[in-house]
Structure 1
């Protein structure tokens, strides 16, 4: 395939400088050392996976470092980083057009452009989304000057955010009955609530999951200003290295509003005007101190309550960044708007693949697989009434729940230092008949790991 004059050509083009894109480019660079790999990203920094370790059959452990793209090019001489966003894709011509006016031809294309925050209100200066390291740094800066914030959302970032913040009052608005229902059941939520509302912070335990490190310098701040607003996903432990402290001396002060969403946001002057028109606003809960000062912004919830705060965190998920690629291309997309991919990460169009938050798995998953950070069908998803639950809970220390069906483990929720992750993962994957063990499966006096080593 010959390229027209002025059009660069590469056998492999990867779009996106996050973990998915960089890992894809690195793999291609190793497998095809004689081929040039084009990696397109709007950011001058990329996310590189380091210290990779296979913990078990399906669990992996690794660090993610944010690095200048020049380091990637130094490690892999056949990778060429193109710092520009994608303006248009013409899949029938195997062409990519970038925002800086250049054209690139490819044989194989992998789209790893990630996602963007799904903000509750676009364009409001007091609504902050947390999606990548840039927005996390902006959040830290705003929090340092705040006395009260409102957090909206019930996903992973919201959970960790509410727990990690200290020195600032948090009003947490969720649309569900219990916190964290994406990740665990109502019982686990009740187990965790005392930790969220405890006045005194516990000594943090060593993190066993993926860690993200960020370099710090004035040069980096300068680069951040010009970086991609979409950014790369933070993943777990995004808060490590950040000082999530407000202006107050207390530790945790969390008030949870359930079964509600944000109805409207008022700026300070709008709120003052509403008060002057003699509108009656509901009183706040008795365990929330009445406002004695004017706040920069006010949030009205669908349950009728109104809270003033310094700013609002919209932790309400993301939207796949497919917009630059859909126009003129007949991609099949999933319910969440992501590009449908098969088991080989192939999209519906020839020679185009996708990975990361931009895509949606369209294959039939394993009977014991579910996309969350817990194990298997942790909440009996799809099992109907034909299942039973086993529970072990020590207040303030651990919460262990397993889902059993026909004597086989189908899922589990593990909170605390249980050391059962690998054992339970194997039991779910191999579907061993555990009927003979009965309730001893969760007996704290029996070292269940010894049975199945």
Structure 2
């Protein structure tokens, strides 16, 4: 750590932008020239969470530590939510009966379309841990899992062993409840599985633990002298230099919302990797303003790009991968080899606008270049995804 960095373990309570200082929960006063708000987001739990200690949310290292301890004594769990964390959990949890409650018609809808969801299902049913693919990006890891408040990075579950109290010889069974939500929860301490749960589809379930992974809301539990401009969802609006409406105050990550004319192939999602990019760019903007230097917007805002792993497969999402912003005027090309790869190209006017690459496709660099350069692909037709043609040779 640099010698000019001081870490204060405390919570922000008040911002006094007139005299440029902040007050912490422990009444510590810190003056600033420029301030960047990176308070992140907090999980949206199911409404019944306040009444049952057996309902957990997962957002930071503290909550994961608590979850791992709790599930060690559970034989039957319910996972609520259909995003990245929920998808990772149902695949990672072992020796436990799992009921996955989702409000959508297919799994992992935050990231993938119904076709990709069908591609994933056999892996979920087999529930076998595959060899982790080689990662071509920097890996992030917490050496000390007891550190308080650290947000989960993209590799949060890589070194975790998540096992329930079920029979070690029996693989975990996952039952998916589509288009459903929890409507009622009660507790019977005399039951083998104390939580009694009713779903909107009429199903009655029992379990030992409920994991709520139903999204997040911006964390803004502090007061300001001058009101910050917010979106309808409570996120702080920022301009192309990550500045809020209050001079000298910036914001980055999940707490903020991009309030500028963004590039066609970029959009904001509440992802750790995107939050990190925003934080890095905000720091450069603050330094640039301090030193009166020209600030050029970071290239990461030119195209959406996300790399993750779902159900044992490497997943690359590029550009408008699900046709975001395109309305209905686009076409989709799909190539799928069961158990090996799933490739989806989204085209508009014969130009690639987005891509979903699942498995070891080795197409990410080519797809990225085609999206950024907007090359006319009409001469190639459907051969753009013909497995017998090495299409990369055309665009090297």
TM-score by length of 2: 0.83
Alignment of 1:145-294 (within 5 A): 145-198=73-126, 200-209=128-137, 211-216=139-144, 221=146, 224=147, 227=148, 231-247=149-165, 248-249=167-168, 250-269=170-189, 294=192
> Any conservation in 1 of the 2:321–2:356 contact (CA below 8 Å)?
yes
Alignment check: 8 A CA contact 1:196 1:252 kept: no
Aligned pair 1:351/2:238, yes or no? no
Cα deviation 1:361-403 (Å, max 9, x = unaligned): 1112222223453111112223233211111011111111111
Change (3 A) 1:184 1:174: same
Among 3, 14, 32, the residue aligned to 1:106: 32
CA RMSD of aligned residues (A): 1.8
Q: Secondary structure at the match of 1:375?
A: strand
> Would the aligned equivalents of 1:210 and 1:236 in 2 still touch at CA under 8 Å?
no
Distance 2:241 2:129 in 1: 45
What displacement does 1:208 show? 4.4
**Aligned equivalent of 1:384, options 323, 327, 336:** 327
Count how many residue pairs are aligned between Structure 1 and Structure 2. 346
Give the number of the structure whose alpha-carbon radius of gyration is greater. 1
Asked whether 1:309 is paired with 2:207, we answer yes
Inter-partner Cα distance in structure 2 for 1:81 and 1:413: 40
Aligned-partner Cα distance in 2 for 1:340–1:308: 43
Cα shift readout 1:388-420 (whole Å, capped 9, x = no counterpart): 111101111111111111110011111111011
Output the TM-score relative to the length of structure 1.
0.73
**Contact preservation (8 Å) 1:177, 1:258:** yes
The residue number in structure 2 matching 1:44 is: none
Find the counterpart in structure 1 of residue 219 from structure 2. Answer: 321
* Deviates most, 201-210 or 78-87: 201-210
Tell me the distance in 2 between the aligned counterparts of 1:99 and 1:314: 28
Q: CA deviation at 1:210?
A: 5.0
Quickly say closer, same or farther: Cα 1:135–1:210, change in 2 above 3 A: farther
**Deviations 1:24-71 (Å, cap 9, x if unpaired)?**
xxxxxxxxxxxxxxxxxxxxxxxxxxxxxxxxxxxxxxxxxxxxxxxx
Q: Name the structure 2 match of 1:406.
A: 349
Instruction: Point out 4+ residue stretches in structure 1 off by more than 6 angstroms.
Output: none
In 2: Cα distance, 1:203 partner to 1:81 partner: 38
Q: In the alignment, which residue of structure 1 is the partner of 2:274?
A: none
How much does 1:197 deviate?
Answer: 1.3
| CA contact 2:18–2:225 (8 Å) conserved in 1 | no
**Per-residue Cα deviation, 1:58-113 (whole angstroms, up to 9, x for no partner):** xxxxxxxxxxxxxx2xxx11112222211211223322011111222222111111
Q: SS of the counterpart of 1:212?
A: coil
